[in-house]
Chain A
């Protein structure tokens, strides 16, 4: 069955960096757009970034632009989010999800906490 497993979440100081990973299995990863979505504690969902199947199309939300970088390795069935210059407001559960326009598979999420 389809599985998406995020990892890499941690407690990090403001200004720090973190790299999130999402390991995919159970489907042909290289055929699908992939998306990162986050959810701050007790808050709603925020779309962050999308990457096409061949990595030639990438978009970011304004909140991620210039600080976050999405990438993927189809040989490893993996999606990544490099996050730099982290701020307190980046504290959230980060989900990877399959799809471009709608998201039919989600990981369980990984918690990023930005605090001194």
Chain B
């Protein structure tokens, strides 16, 4: 199975800060990488697909980049409504696997 390693596992930042999360795949997954966030008590929500494509209706403050084994997800200006746990997910090969998550909090 392809292992997805996210870092950091948690972070605390101020409102307006730029926040970056990384996701490392255990093998080359091309751009077959998606990003979700999950607010407490809610289902996950797709933000980015194919590494860098913004899902319809998702604010442009979210962005993704990368290919191969190294990927990054960025929030350009952190807002209180962005408090959530963020997950990457590969779909290069079955079983599809998720990263362990990054919990984002406000300082």
Chain A contacts to B: CB under 8 angstroms: 44-47, 59, 61-62, 95, 100-104, 106-109
Q: Given A45-B87, A101-B91, check contact A106 B98 (CB 8 Å).
A: no
* Contact between B95 and A103, CB atoms less than 8 A apart: no
Task: Give Cα A45 to B100, complex, Å.
Answer: 8
Mask: chain B, 27-56; 1 = CB below 8 Å from A; 0 = not:
000001010101000111110011000010
| Chain B at the A interface: SS class | loop
* Contact between A102 and B98, CB atoms less than 8 A apart: no
Interface check B63, CB cutoff 8 A? no
Residue in A44, A62, A95 with the greatest tally of chain B CB atoms within 10 Å: A44
Q: State how many residues of chain B have any CB contact under 8 Å with chain A.
A: 23
Report, nearest first, the 8 A-B pairs whose CB atoms are least far apart: A106-B43, A101-B91, A47-B96, A45-B98, A102-B49, A61-B95, A102-B34, A104-B46
